[in-house]
Amino acid sequence: VPVTIRDVAREAGVSVGTVSRVMNDSAQVSPHTRAQVLDVVAALGYQPNQSGRALARGRLPTVAVIVPFVTHPSAIARIRGLVDGFRRVGHPVSIFDVEMPEHADEHLLTLTSGLRPEGAVIVSLPMSAPRVATLADAGLRPVLVDAEADGLSSVVIDDVAGGALATAHLTELGHRRVAFLGDREPDGFGFVSSVRRHEGYREALAAAGVTPEPAYERTAPHGRETACEQTRALLALPEPPTAVFAASDTQALGVLDAAAARGLRVPEDLSVVGFDDIDVAAHAGLTTVRQPLFESGLAAARILQAEVEEASRAPERLVLPVELVTRRTTAPPGSPARSARREDTPA
């Protein structure tokens, strides 16, 4: 038998309004009345019905997270941070997965007219001005992760710098034939991180005095298999690259697959650098540019919570650091095998 605000009011000998005020500890209630009400609340085990509360206030006591491809390791890591962060403040997290470009606007519509959440975190999706305005009309000021928009808080990394970091590592090792493997852009989602990392690649190459080689720059729909295919093509070139910078760890694993299929040793015959530092990167010994995925979720949760509590808060732009993690997939070009692992293929 659910106990309502009326039960509490009757039992405490006050009106529902007073109980409501106590529960929202907003208005000034006399200490005596407050204590009395709280006693009854405890005695009856009263818990406000969130549906009623939601209807009266216009928003549900949940936080919505819109994120493309929840099954991707990088998305998982971010969601972990988000869930962890919101658990600390007691907010259930509703997850909206975007598997196709049109899902994004569908979910946005759900947020604005269907169930209105307390707040929202939007990951990796470009927020056009109309989108921002629509959300704002509904009283929603989402926190962006891996994306930016005027007037909204965001948690990002410097993808250009990250791409340059990876590429510079390779050129410093002595590589001149460095390939780039990124996401094919025209997929309708408008993701920009791969493009930015590509920019960083170009910059670092220029800084190292390496002439760009168009044949070395390839893109493919995101995925391990597609990356493997592209790498096969790369390795079949008359003058194949000695190193590959992949715009994500998933793609870097595909590069590794292609190298293995061709009988190339890594890093002796081919150096590989990834991006993200997802869990498997450590196990694969992959050299990569680490971005704080878990922390990005945590930070977004913290910022959103702060904005919910103080609506007038100024937008915050948080740039998380990237860092090169050197493991076992990078070495100078043509370097001798560290151990005679394959006697049948002498260097």
Interface residues with DNA (CB under 7 A) are 2, 4-6, 13-18, 20-21, 23-24, 26-30, 32-34, 46, 48-49, 51-53, 55-58
Place of tokens 């907003």: 26
For residues 282 and 319, which CB has a smaller minimum distance to its own copies in the complex?
A: 282
Q: How far is the CB of 13 from DNA (least distance, A)?
A: 7
Q: If residue 95 lies in a helix (H) or strand (E), which one and from where to where? A: strand 93-98
| β-pair type (93-98, 217-220) | unpaired
Length of the chain as a residue count: 347
Q: How far is the CB of 31 from its own copies (least distance, A)?
A: 27
Q: How far is the CB of 311 from its own copies (least distance, A)?
A: 19
Q: Pick what 64 binds: its own copies, DNA, none; C-beta below 5 to 8 Å, kind-dependent.
A: its own copies
Among 16, 33, 38, 48, binds its own copies (CB under 8 A): 48
Q: What's at 10, amino acid-wise? A: R
Please tell me the count of residues contacting its own copies according to CB under 8 A.
45
For residues 28 and 211, which CB has a smaller minimum distance to DNA in the complex?
A: 28
Q: Does 283 participate in binding its own copies (rule CB under 8 A)?
A: yes
For residues 60 and 168, which CB has a smaller minimum distance to its own copies in the complex?
A: 60
Q: Which stretch binds its own copies (CB under 8 A): 27-35, 105-113, 260-268, 308-316?
A: 105-113
Q: Does 190 participate in binding its own copies (rule CB under 8 A)?
A: no
Q: Does 114 participate in binding its own copies (rule CB under 8 A)?
A: yes
Within the chain, where are the H helices? 5-12, 16-23, 31-44, 50-57, 73-88, 101-113, 129-137, 159-172, 193-207, 224-235, 249-261, 279-284, 293-309
Q: Pick what 28 binds: its own copies, DNA, none; C-beta below 5 to 8 Å, kind-dependent.
A: DNA
Q: Long-range contacts made by residues 123-127, C-beta under 8 angstroms, separation at least 24?
A: 123/65, 123/66, 123/67, 123/68, 123/75, 123/78, 123/147, 124/67, 124/68, 124/189, 124/191, 124/193, 125/66, 125/68, 125/98, 125/189, 125/190, 126/190, 126/191, 126/192, 127/152
For residues 111 and 234, which CB has a smaller minimum distance to its own copies in the complex?
A: 111
Q: Pick what 101 binds: its own copies, DNA, none; C-beta below 5 to 8 Å, kind-dependent.
A: none
| Cis omega (within 30 of 0) for bond into 61 | no
Count of beta carbons in the 10 Å neighbourhood of residue 166: 29
Q: How far is the CB of 115 from DNA (least distance, A)?
A: 11
Distance of CA 339 to the CA centre of its chain: 38
Q: How far is the CB of 171 from its own copies (least distance, A)?
A: 29
For residues 64 and 135, which CB has a smaller minimum distance to its own copies in the complex?
A: 64
Q: Does 49 participate in binding its own copies (rule CB under 8 A)?
A: yes
Among 122, 147, 273, 284, binds its own copies (CB under 8 A): 284
Q: How far is the CB of 142 from its own copies (least distance, A)?
A: 16
List the x/- string, 58-77, binding to its own copies by CB under 8 A: xxxxx-x-----xx-x--x-
End-to-end, the C-alpha distance of the chain in Å comes to 78
Q: CA dihedral in degrees (116, 117, 119, 121; nearest 10)?
A: -100
Strand partners, 320: 157
For residues 68 and 162, which CB has a smaller minimum distance to its own copies in the complex?
A: 68
3-class DSSP assignment, residue 276: strand
DSSP string computed for 195-220: HHHHHHHHHHHHHTTPPP-GGGEEEE
Inter-CA distances, 162 with 190, 193, 195, 199, Å: 19, 10, 12, 10
Q: Pick what 326 binds: its own copies, DNA, none; C-beta below 5 to 8 Å, kind-dependent.
A: none
Q: How far is the CB of 39 from DNA (least distance, A)?
A: 14
Contact residues for its own copies, defined by CB under 8 A: 1-3, 45, 47-52, 54-55, 58-62, 64, 70-71, 73, 76, 80, 83-84, 87, 92-97, 99, 109-110, 113-116, 137-138, 279-280, 283-284
